[in-house]
């Protein structure tokens, strides 16, 4: 049977395919999606494919940057063979095929488009009025496409050096959002010396204000008002503070949020920050945020790649647990096939030959999908092997395995199973433990 499928290019440039068999297929940036796309402009749950009698439909799930089919933004659309699906601001592309041979190479098209985009960006930074951070941002775009090594630490240093030079501050810190709040990442003083975490002290009130409101605070010639009486400011003898939000779309969000802080302070007055200077610092913060967003995208892509490598190894391990050969004896022909929806799954088949010479065949389905289901299926398969090889009758073996699973697994986890025992003369018996009905076809 020929199934429809989706085809797209991975961040590394290779082609990926996803065969469509399920009633619903979720596409998004979050790891629980069936098809995970790490681009920051793809929403966590971006779109969903739904199976109907006439084929698959695609629905946008109120994504921030939209779903497009053949260049038209859609809410819901029936898919036809060869349709081009694009997601988000970067137009992440997937091609839909109904089973016919695909002649379009999406990876080649996307590589050419991405390379052209990156080269155009690099060309656009040649004029002198473009800043170094804009160059870094464009180079990171290029690096993101071609997976070169780039030092995040050097990027942080460049950001701080530029901010300290513009403002005349004595110290500068970059803070990034963590579950517990905004925490130190890197620091530098006005002479370019790196500051360790032991040197890290900031006005928590100023940082909290900027993080909450998303607006920069500039006080270059004295600290007045509510901030002037804060204990941390008085204790550090500060007379100047500048604090700017770094905002981008993180892997955990679909909207622009404050994900970092650029913090500058001084015990002396900083440079008089004119309206132009403040605009320059705000521009610096905006460019820095673009760099951080790209670094996060690169990190997410690398983590996804490592996870896929680990899952591929798990897939090979699970395949090795299936029978390497099928029973062969007169008057019978046995065929078996297993293809998990993801890398690994909870379905398996097996053939066992206990001491009496009969063959026992097993077809099982563990609830759920993915790694959790595969672990439980391996446990079930191992327990069945031990019981059947102990000489226990099939009924007794299944009762023992059932008791074992009840003791070792959570209440919401379960498995269904069909078992048959067959001898070479053609007689046998079967046990159905909540599995789909089996069919027996007779001649005539």
How far, in Å, CA of 310 to CA of 215, rounded? 42
Shared domain for 63 and 165, answered yes or no, is no
Q: Are 188 and 265 in contact (CB under 8 A)?
A: no
Shared domain for 169 and 295, answered yes or no, is yes
Shared domain for 160 and 289, answered yes or no, is yes
What is the predicted pLDDT for the residue at 142? 46
Shared domain for 277 and 363, answered yes or no, is no
Q: Read off the CATH number of the domain in which 372 is found.
A: 3.60.40.10
Shared domain for 352 and 276, answered yes or no, is no
Identify which has the larger pLDDT, 253 or 421: 421
Let me know if residue 337 belongs to a domain: no
The structure tokens listed for 418 are: 């069909």
- Statement: residue 363 has pLDDT above 90: yes
Give mean pLDDT, residues 240-245.
91
Question: How high is the mean pLDDT of the chain?
Answer: 81
Task: Measure Cα distances from 198 to 185, 223, 230 in Å.
Answer: 12, 25, 21
How far, in Å, CA of 396 to CA of 419, rounded? 12
How far, in Å, CA of 46 to CA of 406, rounded? 38
- Statement: residue 345 has pLDDT above 60: yes
Please, what is the end-to-end C-alpha distance for the chain in angstroms?
26
| DSSP string of 180-191, one letter each residue | TEEEEEEEEETT
Let me know if residue 317 belongs to a domain: no
Shared domain for 294 and 376, answered yes or no, is no
Cα 80 vs. chain centroid, distance in angstroms? 28
What long-range pairs does 287-291 form, CB within 8 A, spacing at least 24?
Answer: 287/131, 287/133, 287/134, 287/136, 287/137, 288/133, 288/159, 288/246, 288/260, 288/262, 289/246, 289/247, 289/248, 289/259, 289/260, 290/137, 290/248, 291/133, 291/136, 291/137, 291/140, 291/155, 291/159
Q: How confident is the model at residue 308 (pLDDT cuts 50, 70, 90)?
A: confident
Q: Are 141 and 118 in contact (CB under 8 A)?
A: yes
- Statement: residue 146 has pLDDT above 60: no
Residue 253 makes CB contacts below 8 A (sequence gap 6+) with 44
- Statement: residue 114 has pLDDT above 90: no
Shared domain for 282 and 194, answered yes or no, is yes
Question: What pTM did the predictor assign?
Answer: 0.52
Q: How confident is the model at residue 180 (pLDDT cuts 50, 70, 90)?
A: confident
Residue from 214, 235, 233 nearest 223 by CA:
233
Q: How confident is the model at residue 126 (pLDDT cuts 50, 70, 90)?
A: very low
Q: How many independent structural domains does the chain possess? A: 3
Let me know if residue 120 belongs to a domain: no
Interstrand relation of 35-36 and 24-28 (parallel, antiparallel or unpaired): parallel
Q: Among 63, 97, 131, which residue terminates a domain?
A: 97
Identify which has the larger pLDDT, 277 or 222: 222
Q: How confident is the model at residue 418 (pLDDT cuts 50, 70, 90)?
A: very high
Window from 22-36, 47-61, 283-297 with minimum mean pLDDT: 283-297
**Which residue matches tokens 């065949």?**
361
Residue 57 makes CB contacts below 8 A (sequence gap 6+) with 49, 50, 76, 77, 78, 79
Q: How confident is the model at residue 12 (pLDDT cuts 50, 70, 90)?
A: low
Shared domain for 82 and 169, answered yes or no, is no
Q: Among 272, 299, 326, which residue terminates a domain?
A: 299
pLDDT per residue as tens digits for the range 325-335: 888 777 778 88
Shared domain for 387 and 247, answered yes or no, is no
Beta strands in 279-437 (DSSP E): 347-352, 359-366, 415-422, 428-433
What is the predicted pLDDT for the residue at 343? 81
The structure tokens listed for 112 are: 């050419």
Shared domain for 153 and 295, answered yes or no, is yes
Shared domain for 282 and 358, answered yes or no, is no
Length of the chain: 444
pLDDT per residue as tens digits for the range 369-386: 888 888 889 999 999 988
Q: How confident is the model at residue 149 (pLDDT cuts 50, 70, 90)?
A: very low
Let me know if residue 274 belongs to a domain: yes
Q: Read off the CATH number of the domain in which 282 is found.
A: 3.30.450.40
pLDDT per residue as tens digits for the range 264-285: 999 888 776 666 567 778 877 8
DSSP code of residue 434: B
Window from 33-42, 156-165, 199-208, 297-306 with minimum mean pLDDT: 297-306
Let me know if residue 123 belongs to a domain: no
Domain that holds residue 235: 149-299
Q: Are 20 and 55 in contact (CB under 8 A)?
A: no
Q: Read off the CATH number of the domain in which 86 is found.
A: 2.60.200.20
Give mean pLDDT, residues 300-319.
81
Let me know if residue 73 belongs to a domain: yes
The structure tokens listed for 45 are: 């749950």
What is the predicted pLDDT for the residue at 148? 45
Query: Under DSSP, is residue 78 helix (H, G, I), strand (E, B) or coil?
Result: strand
Shared domain for 89 and 30, answered yes or no, is yes
Window from 108-122, 228-242, 337-351 with minimum mean pLDDT: 108-122
| DSSP string of 127-173, one letter each residue | STTS-HHHHHHHHHHHHHHHT----HHHHHHHHHHHHHHHH--SEEE
How far, in Å, CA of 385 to CA of 81, rounded? 45
Let me know if residue 368 belongs to a domain: yes
Radius of gyration for the chain, computed over Cα atoms and rounded to the nearest angstrom: 30
Percent of the chain with pLDDT over 90: 28
Let me know if residue 167 belongs to a domain: yes
Cα 170 vs. chain centroid, distance in angstroms? 39
Task: Measure Cα distances from 421 to 306, 353, 374 in Å.
Answer: 42, 9, 25
């Amino acid at each position: 049977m020929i199934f429809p499928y989706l085809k797209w290019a991975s961040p590394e440039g290779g082609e990926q395919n996803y065969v469509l068999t399920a009633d619903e297929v979720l596409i998004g940036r979050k790891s629980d999606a069936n098809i995970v796309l790490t681009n920051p402009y793809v929403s966590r749950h971006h779109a969903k494919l739904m199976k109907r009698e006439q084929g698959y439909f695609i629905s946008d799930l109120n994504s921030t940057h939209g779903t497009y089919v053949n260049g038209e933004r859609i809410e819901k659309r029936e898919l036809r063979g060869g349709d081009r699906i694009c997601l988000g601001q970067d137009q992440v592309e997937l091609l839909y095929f109904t089973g016919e041979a695909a002649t379009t190479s999406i990876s080649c098209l996307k590589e050419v488009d991405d390379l052209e985009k990156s080269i155009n960006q690099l060309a656009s930074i040649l004029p002198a009025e473009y800043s170094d951070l804009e160059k870094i941002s464009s180079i990171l775009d290029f690096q993101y496409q071609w997976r070169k090594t780039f030092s995040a630490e050097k990027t942080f240093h460049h950001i701080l050096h530029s901010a300290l030079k513009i403002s005349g501050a004595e110290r500068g810190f970059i803070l990034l959002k963590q579950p517990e709040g905004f925490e130190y990442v890197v620091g530098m003083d006005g002479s370019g010396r790196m500051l360790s975490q032991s040197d890290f002290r900031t006005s928590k009130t100023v940082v909290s204000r900027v993080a909450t409101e998303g607006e920069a605070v500039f006080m270059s010639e004295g600290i007045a008002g509510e901030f002037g009486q804060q204990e941390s400011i008085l204790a550090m003898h500060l007379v100047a503070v500048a604090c700017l939000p770094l905002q981008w779309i993180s892997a955990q969000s679909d909207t622009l949020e404050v994900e970092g802080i650029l913090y500058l302070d001084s015990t002396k007055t900083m440079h008089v920050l004119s309206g132009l200077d403040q605009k320059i610092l705000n521009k610096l913060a905006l460019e820095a945020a673009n760099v951080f967003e790209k670094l996060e995208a690169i990190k997410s892509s690398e983590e996804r790649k490592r996870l896929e490598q680990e899952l591929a190894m798990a897939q090979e391990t699970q395949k090795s647990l299936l029978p390497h050969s099928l029973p062969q004896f007169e008057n019978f022909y046995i065929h078996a096939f297993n293809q998990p929806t993801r890398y690994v799954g909870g379905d398996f088949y097996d053939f066992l030959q206990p001491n009496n010479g009969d063959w026992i065949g097993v077809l099982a389905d563990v609830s759920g999908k993915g790694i959790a289901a595969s672990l439980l299926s391996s446990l079930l398969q191992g327990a069945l092997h031990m019981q059947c090889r102990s000489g226990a009758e099939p009924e007794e073996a299944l009762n023992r395995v059932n008791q074992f699973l009840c003791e070792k697994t959570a209440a919401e986890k379960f498995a269904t199973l069909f078992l048959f025992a067959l001898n070479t003369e053609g007689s046998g018996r079967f046990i159905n433990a909540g599995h789909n009905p089996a069919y027996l076809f007779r001649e005539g």
